[in-house]
Chain A
């Protein structure tokens, strides 16, 4: 006789004849046979349903959650446990398994270390006997008194299909603790579907049908579906960075700016042409010149095609409000950029529009300057060239600050910087 008790000796609170009694008793037997397993090594996760009232009877850790979510909850518990030798067991009904099918698939697929015991009484017992996703075709329920009109899920096969090492269907009569023991001692995810009958709603509508007959007529097999055991999920052993800020080195103050008031720029080009990286380099150059900067990105959901816009605010004073109702400067390096900024340019009453000379100059009250961005160093460098041009037109900080920022960037060595500067300053 084992002196380790996982289940209280108090009477269970299920209806007479309910298969849940047998599942609880067989689980107790199975746990007792697992060497060295103590009650506080077991975490019982229960779902919503009649079976969920079992918590009070187990002497293990217990957690009682939502309808259908217990397998996902158990996955988090399983992944969160530090000590080895713990066992997570999920008690869930066929209704819970239906609403939480995604969680079952996910847990089996990732091989979270747990044993799921499905109390399959083929209907929702707690709410009056409605059909579940596991109700066999033809089985009579309150919702379908003439018989369930479609075929129920074969959960054991589904679990097997996504890699569960152990998925077994058993008829919930007599002693099936050996199967539960097998599942509990299988590393990783295991599942036992116990087919049983609800005496209140199932037996009355389906008299004279044995569980074995019902299962057979449903085309389900009382058998083990298995794979060779594989390594169960464990938290990846990884070394995160010590601090995100350590990788973000301070930008030294190397130049000075002449800017007296905030200046907002809208830089518009095409995806894949370096708009965001050029704007980032320009932002760093502005910071090196003592300015405060904000930078926003905008592009379509298909990030590899269409426009790419970067909006900058540069200011000698700290920037609070980061909105740009109307930019002071609009830079356009491609047709995509022109189409993106067309409405903005049309509304401008002042300011500067700097646009590639290959594009049609838009109508606007702002000053328009056309230069050759795309032709100088190719489309991928057009935005950077445009920003050099901008500093030539509006020297808010020295061009050398931008040159330094380019040299310190990933683009250093990939660009003909001298040619870029010479042509832009000409």
Chain B
């Protein structure tokens, strides 16, 4: 960690902080396949990770990652929607096998190849339904430059502690904009510890602990047989066709996430006394929301701010907080308000409105205008 007092500003981009924090948190391997706007993460990883492999395509990337993870290494990759689309089946496999890994998703404008160098927040709906059956995929979001550090570490930690793939969601603007930054503001990041099976008792790869997360042992260890399986399986990791034990094991995957949700909820709530309006945002739009709320307060509009960083599964605390506000304005850089619909469904809720944009960043004035329209 950089030490010292006073002016300790460096020029960094978010990619640099993401890579450094991930390694410090315990990531071992980076598997890359080039795609804009995630390339800088691949580039920095080439200097920082002990092991870096260039995959020939994104399906291979995820499969190699699963292989590394099955041997007890924590792999990371970075991609954008076209790459994620190829990874989806393999992410489902890793989810079912309960293999830890981090997939950094740098959003860009779609559909399809869209505009590679134009930012967006268009992939949240996809992530919320990524796992067949509607099982929640832990998804963390970078909502300010400091989150490149904090949320990267959180993602690595959650992946290991939940024995699961984890998505770290960001966008082009956050990882490609260079900026002055006070390095002394960074918290220490410690390496995550794997909860390993110990002792002479036979290892059952899917025998849940009290928190519903099974202990881990790597393939190739000399003491216990390890079986990992992508298909429905029992506690031993043996394929079973929909019997009660296999079904219970599958259902546990959802319960595992919900049981442990409180340990990986990250959000910012900046409430102003007697405020009637809550501005909600996440990701690349969150800084605009911060500026908007600061301006509104300066001009006499009592406003609170909510910045979400854990996006899936949606914590109940989010809904409870929003319930307390008559007016909720949700700002996100997509067409129909994907987070808004995750929170309130397609029918929405009285008093909830969205500020949205496609192909451009949401300006703080867009948010100010929406809030003032309802306050007057």
Contact = CB atoms under 8 A, between A and B. Distances in A.
A240 B11 contact: no
A323 B288 contact: yes
Interface residues on chain B, size class: 35 or more
Contact of A236 (B51, B69, B239): B51
Instruction: Tell me which of A106, A240, A325 has the highest count of chain B C-beta atoms within 10 A of its own C-beta.
Output: A240
30 contacts: A55-B238, A62-B227, A63-B70, A63-B227, A64-B228, A72-B59, A72-B60, A72-B63, A73-B66, A73-B67, A75-B67, A76-B68, A77-B71, A77-B220, A79-B53, A81-B219, A235-B50, A244-B48, A245-B10, A245-B183, A283-B180, A291-B180, A292-B180, A293-B179, A296-B173, A296-B176, A301-B116, A319-B179, A320-B288, A323-B363
Contacts of B237: 62
A75 B239 CA distance: 22
A261 interface: no
B53 to A, nearest CB: 7
Contacts of B72: 80
A72 B68 CA distance: 11
Given A75-B63, A245-B20, A323-B361, 10 more contacts: A40-B225, A63-B219, A64-B228, A65-B230, A77-B68, A80-B68, A80-B72, A235-B50, A250-B9, A291-B180
Contacts of A301: 116
Interface in B46-92: 47-51, 53, 56-57, 59-60, 63-73, 75, 89-90
Interface string A51-63: 0110110011111
A28 to B, nearest CB: 16
B267 interface: no
Interface in A73-87: 73-83, 86
Contacts of B322: none
B231 interface: yes
Nearest to B73: A80
B26 interface: no
Nearest to A105: B56
A43 interface: yes
A80 B11 contact: no
A5 interface: no
Contacts of A291: 180
Given A56-B238, A248-B16, A320-B290, A83 B222 contact: yes
Contacts of A320: 144, 287-288, 290-291
A335 B322 CA distance: 52
B355 to A, nearest CB: 13
B226 interface: yes
A102 interface: yes
Contacts of B90: 66, 69
A73 B55 CA distance: 12
B177 interface: yes
Contacts of A53: 239
Instruction: Tell me which of A77, A86, A241, A284 has the highest count of chain B C-beta atoms within 10 A of its own C-beta.
Output: A77
